[in-house]
Amino acid sequence: MGFSGASPRQVVLGRTVIHCPRTLTAMPADLHAHARAAAHPAAAPCPGCATGTLADRPDATVVRHHRTVAKAHAPGTDPGALRRRLAVAAALPEILLPPLDPAPAVLDGRQVTCWPLGLPVDPQDPDAAPWEDAATLTARLHRTPPPPGLPAMRGPEKAALAVARLTTEAPHHRAVPVLLRAWASLPPWARAEEPAPPELGTALCHGDLHLGQLVRHPAPYGPWRLIDVDDLGVGVPAWDLARPASWYACGLLPAGEWRRFLRAYRTARGPALPAEGDPWPVLDVPARALTVQTASRFVTKAALAGRPLDEGEEALVDACDRMTAPRTGVL
Amino acid sequence: MHCPKCHAPMHTYNRNGVQIEQCSGCRGIFLDYGELETLTRLEAQWAQPAPPAAPGAPAWGAPHGGHHGGHHGGHHGGHHRPHSFGRMLFSS
């Protein structure tokens, strides 16, 4: 069974035309078998291993067999670009989880990669989040020279996609005008309409850093590593710091956690920020973009589920509203 | 300048930007207009150390202290996080 659906739809945002393939993706039928084959390469009989589906989203399906994980990447993933990104993970095993095989397989038209099982951050215990490890790994990634030919980091593209989905899937939600105004206030590079100006600097970036992108390997006591190379590439390194920056700015992440993350990034001599002083001149644009992205995703989800926004989601929408509020007087 | 009380010469010192004249004879101190207030203010700042500087935030940020002002260190039990924030931490 492959992915089916209506023809791709186009959304015009500013000067960008974004294709929104309305895919009803299905898990490739052989993904579990593929994971099993990778876990037992000698075709040994399976002794009844632990198996399961770890994630099944439109953009990725992830299944597990014993200590092997198989991921079916998003439909339409460029095989050449994925291969280059996998090569980076294979070359930097002290920063990124290395793939079991640097060459993706193809199942039902989807690119499929296999990985060793890692232990993720416990979603029930976000206070135990390894902020220092996240920051240090990110700084080390940013300090690594990108290999020639590596594609661009996909952060701005993902933000544009989230806004495009909002306008197609939740066009009548009351937050849409607020989010579109905030989006329009961003410079073109942050909306994936132009390359970033060279003075912002470039580095090897993860492109989609959040707490779900960290695992301990080997599970459960190994060191933390970054996972998910789908958006990895060359880009403005402040983008990788902008999600925690956005959570902090929206009042969701306590100042203590944010301070730990910043301090660890600077201690590891991450190049995105000046060694001391105010980080916000560098973080402002990417943090605004990620706030609009996250707000768009969650408003879309809430609209599709027919539920009201909760307090955290309202905090994001309020922050987007303040981005375009006329500034009068002094604070 | 000479001391208005004993007429001994006065020496000028600068302390934290405040000009202080002290008499070399009777050790009396002469303050210009407003300097006593300045010293009092400096003393108050010294006695009451500033809270650890909150990291800066952008103009569009939430008013900090409102959402989690009363939760310093209170991470275990009762720490309020919006339901969606747990999901935001772990999703693209």
- Last residue of some domain: A86, A117, A148? A117
Per-residue pLDDT of chain A (331 residues; tens, 9 = 90+): 333 333 345 555 555 555 444 444 567 778 988 898 888 866 677 888 888 899 888 889 999 998 999 999 999 999 999 999 999 999 999 999 999 999 999 999 999 999 999 999 998 887 889 999 999 999 999 999 999 999 999 999 999 999 999 999 999 999 999 999 999 999 999 999 999 999 999 999 999 999 999 999 998 999 999 999 999 999 999 999 999 999 999 999 999 999 999 999 999 999 999 999 999 999 999 999 999 999 999 999 999 999 999 999 999 999 999 999 876 544 4
Same domain flag for A99 and A240:
no
Q: Is residue B16 part of a domain?
A: yes
Distance from CA of B56 to the nearest CA of A (A): 7
What was the pLDDT predicted at B65?
Answer: 46
Query: Which residue range forms the structural domain that includes residue B41?
Result: 10-47
CATH number of the domain at A136, please. 3.90.1200.10
Q: Is residue B53 part of a domain?
A: no
Write down how long chain A is: 331
Q: Is residue B22 part of a domain?
A: yes
CA gap A5, A168 in Å, rounded: 15
Mutate: best of B68, B79, B88, partner A, most A CBs <10 A: B88
What was the pLDDT predicted at B28?
Answer: 84
Q: Running DSSP on this structure, what letter comes out for residue B61?
A: S
β-pair type (A60-65, A51-57): antiparallel
- Last residue of some domain: A101, A117, A133? A117
**C-beta separation of A43 from A51 below 8 A:** no
Write out chain B residues lying below 8 Å of A259, CB-based.
55
Sort residue A31 into left (φ over 0), alpha (ψ -120 to 50) or beta: alpha
Q: With an 8 Å Cβ cutoff, is A186 touching chain B?
A: no
Q: Is residue A331 part of a domain?
A: no
Look up the pTM and report it. Answer: 0.80
B-contacting residues in A 55-74 (Cβ below 8 Å): 59
Q: With an 8 Å Cβ cutoff, is A220 touching chain B?
A: no
Write out chain A residues lying below 8 Å of B54, CB-based.
255
Helices assigned H by DSSP within chain A: 31-39, 79-91, 131-142, 155-169, 176-184, 238-249, 255-267, 280-305, 311-323
Q: Is residue A254 part of a domain?
A: yes
Distance from CA of A198 to the nearest CA of B (A): 23
A11 backbone dihedrals φ, ψ, rounded to 5° = -125, 130
Q: How many domains does chain B have?
A: 1
Same domain flag for A227 and A282:
yes
**C-beta separation of A230 from A60 below 8 A:** yes
Q: With an 8 Å Cβ cutoff, is B84 touching chain A?
A: yes
Residue A40 CA, distance from chain mean position: 30
Q: Is residue B19 part of a domain?
A: yes
Mutate: best of A62, A161, A226, A248, partner B, most B CBs <10 A: A248
Same domain flag for A124 and A106:
no
Q: How many domains does chain A have?
A: 2
What was the pLDDT predicted at A41?
Answer: 67
CA gap A160, B82 in Å, rounded: 26
In 3D, which of A259, A250, A209, A256 has the Cα closest to residue A229?
A209
Same domain flag for A30 and A60:
yes
Q: Is residue A43 part of a domain?
A: no
Same domain flag for A146 and A243:
yes
CATH number of the domain at A21, please. 3.30.200
Query: Which residue range forms the structural domain that includes residue A54?
Result: 1-38+48-117
Q: Is residue B73 part of a domain?
A: no
Q: Is residue A319 part of a domain?
A: yes
ipTM associated with this complex = 0.82
Q: Count CB neighbours of A178 within 10 A.
A: 21
Q: Report CB contact under 8 Å: A126, B81.
A: yes
Same domain flag for A171 and A314:
yes
In 3D, which of A179, A274, A139, A317 has the Cα closest to residue B56?
A274
Q: With an 8 Å Cβ cutoff, is A257 touching chain B?
A: no
What was the pLDDT predicted at B68?
Answer: 43
pLDDT of residue B40 exceeding 50, the answer is yes
Confidence of residue B14 (pLDDT cuts 50, 70, 90): confident
Q: With an 8 Å Cβ cutoff, is B54 touching chain A?
A: yes
What was the pLDDT predicted at A1?
Answer: 36
What was the pLDDT predicted at A208?
Answer: 97
**C-beta separation of B36 from B43 below 8 A:** no
Q: Is residue B4 part of a domain?
A: no
Q: Report CB contact under 8 Å: A287, B79.
A: no
Q: Is residue B5 part of a domain?
A: no
* Partner residue facing A123 (CB), from B60, B79, B90: B90
β-pair type (A60-65, A68-72): antiparallel
